[in-house]
Amino acid sequence: MNKLFTFEIQDRQGAARNATFTTPHGPLKTPLFAPVGTQATVKGLTPAQLETTNSTLVLANTYHLYLRPGADLVADMGGLHNFMQWQYPTLTDSGGFQVFSLAAMRKIDDDGVTFRSHIDGSTHRFTPEKSIEIQEKLGADIIMAFDECAAPYDFEYNQLAIRRTHVWANRSRNAHTRADQALFGIVQGGVFPQLRQESAAFIANLDLPGIAIGGLSVGEKKTEMYAMIEVVNSVLPEEKPRYLMGVGAPEDIVNGVLRGIDIFDCVLPTRLARHSAALTMHGRLNLMNAKFAHDMQPIEPDCTCYTCQTFSRAYIRHLIVARELLSGTLISIHNIHMLQRLMSELRMAIQNGNLDQYASSFLSNYEYKPGKTADTIFHELME
Amino acid sequence: MNKLFTFEIQDRQGAARNATFTTPHGPLKTPLFAPVGTQATVKGLTPAQLETTNSTLVLANTYHLYLRPGADLVADMGGLHNFMQWQYPTLTDSGGFQVFSLAAMRKIDDDGVTFRSHIDGSTHRFTPEKSIEIQEKLGADIIMAFDECAAPYDFEYNQLAIRRTHVWANRSRNAHTRADQALFGIVQGGVFPQLRQESAAFIANLDLPGIAIGGLSVGEKKTEMYAMIEVVNSVLPEEKPRYLMGVGAPEDIVNGVLRGIDIFDCVLPTRLARHSAALTMHGRLNLMNAKFAHDMQPIEPDCTCYTCQTFSRAYIRHLIVARELLSGTLISIHNIHMLQRLMSELRMAIQNGNLDQYASSFLSNYEYKPGKTADTIFHELME
């Protein structure tokens, strides 16, 4: 591991741990949650507002930035940090997941993926080498190996996908040149324990500075997601950060931390906010609901975020009903702050050795639908 | 005049003056520009961001707030200041202009206006008494008499409109009960000097704590707008604040101040921002333009606003092209800050006795279309 990136574990309880992951843009206290700034902006928030949510790591999407404004332009502007003016650590994904989920057309072969832009239909090709080249131009502190994410219940496709993902992880490692970036590998394998085990062992063996678990929260059951985390983490080395990609529902974060996950990211807090939903320590509130019309309370009475310290539910509901953009900004500030509060309380519980009590108390007070993944619930809400 | 509202002139140069207008929510240094928060929010900005633009007075629209969320709800929430969390002075208009320009249907008679909501088609009626009742519930520091704004070149309609406007101003005054609100009268009369004179004399005679000039920047020539300001201000008493409604183009502000205007308001800086246009001390920039794609400069190199202190034109252009809402927020911060800088420089020039030099230097360096009102140019830009 490069000396710029060290992972020091401070406290442990069961599989969970508190650690510090150092990066060229400062240390990260884990377990942590990273909000997503897809197009080099966490939607609707200035970096100054994002700072007030106690966020540290911010994720940006390689697929989007490659298409617009282009990696060369971001590089010319001094890289992602200077471009978006976020002075804390950043992470870019490999672009693979977005190609598979967003591109207008995609054709995968063993060498890479050819796809059409969802913006203008133009044809592009990503290979592991190309993804790393783009991510080196973007310049995030943490970058990801190019991988293939298969439908979770398709065994044969997952077999094929991990074979490719492993070859591509090797090629990503060989292509990577910047010492000031940590390249993480990605474990795939759907909901199949033997594939997850095999993938975890292969990726761990590459001895990269961190390892991610991909292909979860994509429609499988929550029990299956948690089982896969256990399977993978039982194989992964303890001394490296473990990143559960695309997961950010509070109940999944708590369950992930209990099983040894260090890093989470998700669009959930900001996307929910743009659809009028607030995250609280007790569940979600749909602030469009008429019952909030005269409610003088803040979203969450004991919350210390700017939104809760300043505005009533009645005002935020008015902004939603009047279609004022400020509602998305204010709820995003709260939702991200709420997840950062959860992370901080989880770290405190690990430090104090009472994580099990904290987690069971949180989960019994938090209203969610335990049979479904965050993603499924999320899509219900969007409809 | 109520003792809560005093207007003290500190410096004069020609018709221009620096003054302090005191209100229950603090003093206002005039000449000033008030950004517009139509639905109890300056679009896309938190009150904290708005404060960084050096804004003091904020305008909200009675028509919009009456329809949504309703004046009773705002009153229940402690009034406009508490509802939107703006602790500096506020102003509400009478609702008349919006009824005439936005409502789905309107039928004007001598007693008032019946109209259909542009939101749901429901039928409503505004009279002077009703407008004042709503504005007292909203609770702004400055409220406006109910008036009728006619098409600028229609002499007969303007004759009728000022007759109604005068009767309605009297009825507004009689209906007004809150001592902690200053009621301003409104002068109408289109582009007709004799009607403007007559209207100014009538409204001045009501001895209200401030007087507004309505019905300008609605399609007439700039030279006509400036001529009407001169006609009206030659009649109005010197010792009361003069408010030019709906005007905010930099060249019109400078020309208004030269002719003795104290207060301006306009949606221009925020609406331009949402359409990618930045106001600078030298004219407008369309930040969508490809020439800014690699431009590392801030919008305005010598500007001290948050946006210019933080972001490049290239980044803001990227946000525009990528349709990220943050672009509107960042350009709004800059545009309002630019107008507040202009107001501050105008006040300084009046204090130093060099307003004429400042104004002619500003106007000769500022690119605009001198034949048209801000409103006309604005509509061109929107197309």
pLDDT in tens, A290-326: 999 999 999 999 999 999 999 999 999 999 999 999 9
Domain extent, residue A187, equals 7-266
Q: Which residue of chain A comes nearest to B323, CA vs CA?
A: A39
User: pTM (2 decimals)?
Assistant: 0.95
B315:A68 CB<8 A: no
Q: What amino acid is encoded at A263 in this protein?
A: I
The catalytically annotated residue of B93, B141, B252, B375 is: B93
Flag whether pLDDT at A252 surpasses 90: yes
Assigned domain for B291 exists: yes
CA distance A200 to A187: 5
Sole residue written with tokens 């000031």: A180
In 3D, which of B132, B97, B126, B102 has the Cα closest to residue B213?
A: B97
Overall size of chain A counted in residues: 383
Task: Please tell me what DSSP assigns to residue B160.
Answer: H
What's the pLDDT score for residue B371?
59
Q: What amino acid is encoded at B335 in this protein?
A: N
CA B95 to each of CA B102, B123, B209: distance values in angstroms, whole numbers, following the listed order: 10, 15, 20
Q: Are residues B176 and B323 in the same domain?
A: no
What's the pLDDT score for residue A369?
62
Assigned domain for A1 exists: no
In 3D, which of A362, A305, A310 has the Cα closest to residue A334?
A: A305
Q: Are residues A300 and A261 in the same domain?
A: no
CATH number (domain holding residue B117): 3.20.20.105
In 3D, which of A93, A198, A105 has the Cα closest to residue A147?
A: A93
pLDDT mean over B23-41: 98
Interface residues of A toward B, Cβ cutoff 8 Å, are 39-41, 43-49, 64, 68-69, 73, 76-77, 83-85, 293-294, 296, 306, 310-312, 314-315, 317-319, 321-322, 324-326, 328-330
Assigned domain for A209 exists: yes
Strand ranges of the sheet holding A7-13, from the earlier edge strand across to the other edge: A7-13, A16-23, A26-30
pLDDT mean over B240-252: 97
Last residue of one domain, picked from the residues A241, A266, A291: A266
Number of structural domains chain B divides into: 2
Q: Are residues B153 and B203 in the same domain?
A: yes
B182-191 pLDDT, tens digit each: 999 999 999 9
Q: Are residues A121 and A217 in the same domain?
A: yes
Q: Lowest-confidence range among A90-104, B209-223, B247-261, B300-314?
A: A90-104
Q: Are residues B213 and B300 in the same domain?
A: no
Determine the distance in angstroms separating the CA of A332 from the nearest CA of chain B, rounded to an integer: 13
Regarding beta strands B242-244 and B210-213, do their DSSP bridges make them parallel or antiparallel, or are they unpaired?
parallel
Determine the distance in angstroms separating the CA of B294 from the nearest CA of chain A, rounded to an integer: 7
What's the pLDDT score for residue A300?
98
In chain A, the N- to C-terminal Cα span, in Å, equals: 45
Nearest CB to B324 within list A41, A83, A326: A41
Which of A46, A49, A53, A67 best probes binding to B when mutated, by most B CB atoms within 10 angstroms?
A46
In 3D, which of B309, B252, B308, B318 has the Cα closest to residue B280?
A: B308
Q: Are residues A216 and A306 in the same domain?
A: no
Q: Are residues B281 and B256 in the same domain?
A: no
A109-136 pLDDT, tens digit each: 999 999 999 999 999 999 999 999 999 9
Q: Which residue of chain B comes nearest to A79, CA vs CA?
A: B315
- DSSP conformation letters of A153-169: T-HHHHHHHHHHHHHHH
pLDDT mean over B236-248: 98
Flag whether pLDDT at A242 surpasses 80: yes
Q: Which residues of A are catalytic?
A: 93, 265
What's the pLDDT score for residue B356?
98
Mean pLDDT of chain B: 95
Q: Are residues A261 and A277 in the same domain?
A: no
Last residue of one domain, picked from the residues B246, B265, B284: B265
CB contacts, 8 Å: A274 with chain B = none
What's the pLDDT score for residue A102?
84
A325-359 pLDDT, tens digit each: 999 999 999 999 999 999 999 999 999 999 999 99
Token readout for B51 is: 């404060």
Task: Please tell me what DSSP assigns to residue A381.
Answer: H
CA distance B10 to B350: 10
B44:A329 CB<8 A: yes
Last residue of one domain, picked from the residues B215, B243, B265: B265
Q: Are residues B100 and B249 in the same domain?
A: yes
- DSSP conformation letters of B4-26: T--EEEEEEETTEEEEEEEETTE
CB B279 within 8 A of CB B267: no
Flag whether pLDDT at A59 surpasses 50: yes
A73:B294 CB<8 A: yes
Assigned domain for A39 exists: yes
Flag whether pLDDT at A383 surpasses 50: no
